[in-house]
Amino acid sequence: AQSVTQPDIHITVSEGASLELRCNYSYGATPYLFWYVQSPGQGLQLLLKYFSGDTLVQGIKGFEAEFKRSQSSFNLRKPSVHWSDAAEYFCAVGASTDYKLSFGAGTTVTVRA
Amino acid sequence: NAGVTQTPKFRVLKTGQSMTLLCAQDMNHEYMYWYRQDPGMGLRLIHYSVGEGTTAKGEVPDGYNVSRLKKQNFLLGLESAAPSQTSVYFCASSDRDRGIVAFFGQGTRLTVV
């Protein structure tokens, strides 16, 4: 069965500083991997996705993520955060066999001025 | 283009009452999902469907039933609501052609008293 672990429950970062959110997954085959963002009281918005090919993927809002098969990781990064990046971020893994989509517990990002 | 629409957006139930949450998508997606979101738990998959007339259990299916009689609709039923089912419920849909990128509804906030 697939699963996702986001080790960091809460991260505080200064505006303009870099951000890295960790994600580890468990899945036997090649997974579909995603990062979603949720602003308070809102639904989830896709930031980026990985299916195959280049292991460094670019997303919206200046985010990128790197797939590392050897580490079963798909960490999300942003070089310089903006106050509007304060939100909850979810990593997800999709199974290429039964299309089941599983999410991690999320990481809340607080941006301080 | 409405995307994924959830009805209702808010509901308060008494313990033991029943209700049905409706999810409708207009993107002709094959796959549909119901999640519940609780603080610190992320999104947990309740049930999902990979096509009209098919459903499968997710991580936390107990106390819920689902039906997918039409491709565009996915219904989540609570037969006898319990306070432990107080949560925010999200519906999502996806499609194999897009690598199961999930599109989410805005959520239903359910309180069971």
Query: B19-54 burial, b if ≥16 CB within 10 A, otherwise e?
Result: bebebbbeeebbbbbbbbbeeeebbbbbbbbbeeee
Condensed to tens digits (0 to 9), the pLDDT of residues B62-109 reads: 999 999 999 999 999 999 999 999 999 999 999 877 667 889 999 999
Q: What is the mean pLDDT of residues A57-71?
A: 95
Contact B52, B72 (CB under 8 A): no
Which residue, B110, B108, B61, is CA-closest to B85?
A: B110
Average pLDDT, whole number, for chain A? 92
Put simply, whether A108 touches B (Cβ < 8 Å) is: no
Residues on chain B touching A23 (C-beta within 8 angstroms): none
Sequence-ordered alpha helix ranges (H) in chain A: none
A31 interface with B at CB cutoff 8 Å:
no
Tell me what percent of the residues of chain A surpass a pLDDT of 90.
Answer: 74
Q: Tell if the CB–CB gap between B94 and A105 is shorter than 8 Å.
A: no
Distance CA B16, CA B28 (A): 35
Of residues B94 and A17, the one with the higher pLDDT is A17
What's residue A93's pLDDT? 92
**Residues contacting A59, CB < 8 A, separation 6+:** A35, A46, A47, A48, A49, A65
Task: Report the pLDDT value the prediction gives residue B99, as an integer from 0 to 100.
Answer: 67
Chain A residue closest to B6 (CA)?
A: A43
Residue B86 has a pLDDT of 97
Q: Given an 8 Å threshold on Cβ–Cβ distance, is B99 in contact with A105?
A: no
More confident residue, A40 or A68: A68
pLDDT at B1: 60
- Using the Cβ of B94 and the Cβ atoms of chain A, whether some distance falls under 8 Å is answered with yes
**Where are the extended beta strands (E) located within B14-99?**
19-25, 31-38, 42-51, 54-57, 64-67, 73-78, 87-94
Q: Token digits for A108?
A: 């809340």
The answer to whether residue B96 neighbours chain A at the CB level (below 8 Å) is yes
pLDDT for the residue B90 = 95
* A105 part of contact set with chain B, CB < 8 Å: yes
pLDDT band at A2 (very low <50, low <70, confident <90, very high): confident
Cα(B29)–Cα(B42) distance, integer angstroms: 24
In angstroms, the CA B77 to CA B108 distance is 13
Across A82-103, average pLDDT: 89
- Give the closest of B42, B56, B94 to A90, CB-based: B42
Residue-wise pLDDT tens digits, B4-49: 999 999 999 999 999 999 999 999 999 999 999 998 888 999 999 9
pLDDT at A41: 80
